[in-house]
Copies of this chain bind each other. A is one copy, B any other.
Amino acid sequence: MNEIEVEEVEAVELDYPVFIEGLPGVGHVGKLVAEHLVEEMESQLVRQVYSEHFPPQVVIDENGTGTLAHSKFYAIETEGRDLLVLTGNHQASDGAGHYRLTDVFLDIAESVGAEEVIALGGVPTGELIEDYSVLGAVSNEDRKTALENVGVEFREEEPEGGIVGTSGLLLGMGGRRGLDAACVMGETSGYVVDPMSARAVLEVLEDLLDIDVAYDALDDRAEEMEKVLGRLEEMDDGPSPGGEDDLRYIG
């Protein structure tokens, strides 16, 4: 096996697509949105990327079948702009791996004609959230207005610690390639998988890309999560220990 292997599952012809990334991260916001797009719209698996920079791991599915850690690219043709969506269960497990995988991801995106990148993610606030803001960062200042028009906020030097991992590199390396790259990030507590934050991001994407997706699945998931959080809060009021730790990535 090579250091990074791109498997062409299907040939694909898209019309100047937007490349959208949603891999695991804070609140799994990006992953939730990307998977929701893939499930709710007519999507086709077109590429799979395997790499020794992913953890040495297989994931077991509902049939007891194990598949090697990898990332997936889906093509989605829409009335508006076509989409190339990257998702999966893993990020690189080492720094250089992040750079090399992101380089390959951008190669794939450019090979199907994408000139625009939207990296999705979450921004941790450390507190449970009432009102889900969506923050943005761009490689090219010209792009801010379009994002602000659909409700994305830009804040000075935020997120404070910068953006790490694939999303950050897509912005940084995409920008260096001359692509139009943006990160679109939902605020989230950081303690739980957060479908409410994902919904906020999705609403922004709908307006931005002129697409239309059903929210039912995401709303169901959000409702479940609300119930779990409600129960945990109740427990928290009682005599038993509980609190923040119990909320950590329940989903």
Contact = CB atoms under 8 A, between A and B. Distances in A.
A66 B99 contact: no
List the number of copies, as a whole number. 4
A111 interface: no
Contacts of A61: 157
A144 interface: yes
A193 to B, nearest CB: 15
A137 B58 CA distance: 10
Nearest to A93: B95
A67 B157 contact: no
Interface in A123-159: 136-141, 144, 154-159
Contacts of A88: none
A102 to B, nearest CB: 8
Task: State which size class the interface on A falls in.
Answer: 35 or more
Given A57-B168, A68-B172, A95-B93, A62 B157 contact: yes
Contact of A57 (B69, B157, B164): B164
A137 B63 CA distance: 9
Nearest to A153: B64
Interface stretch (A48-56, A76-84, A196-204): A48-56
A59 interface: yes
A59 B66 CA distance: 34
Which residue among A62, A66, A96, A99 has the maximum number of chain B CB atoms within 10 Å of its CB? Answer: A66
A68 B175 contact: yes
A65 to B, nearest CB: 6
A100 to B, nearest CB: 7
Per CB-CB distance, the 10 closest pairs between chain A and chain B, nearest first, are A68-B172, A56-B98, A64-B154, A52-B99, A58-B172, A52-B96, A58-B168, A59-B162, A66-B137, A66-B171
Interface of A: 1, 3, 50, 52-69, 92-96, 98-100, 102-103, 136-141, 144, 154-159, 162-166, 168-169, 171-173, 175-176, 183
Given A62-B156, A65-B141, 8 more contacts: A1-B103, A52-B98, A52-B99, A53-B96, A56-B92, A56-B164, A58-B163, A60-B158
10 contacts: A53-B95, A55-B95, A57-B164, A64-B156, A64-B158, A65-B137, A66-B168, A67-B175, A93-B95, A94-B95
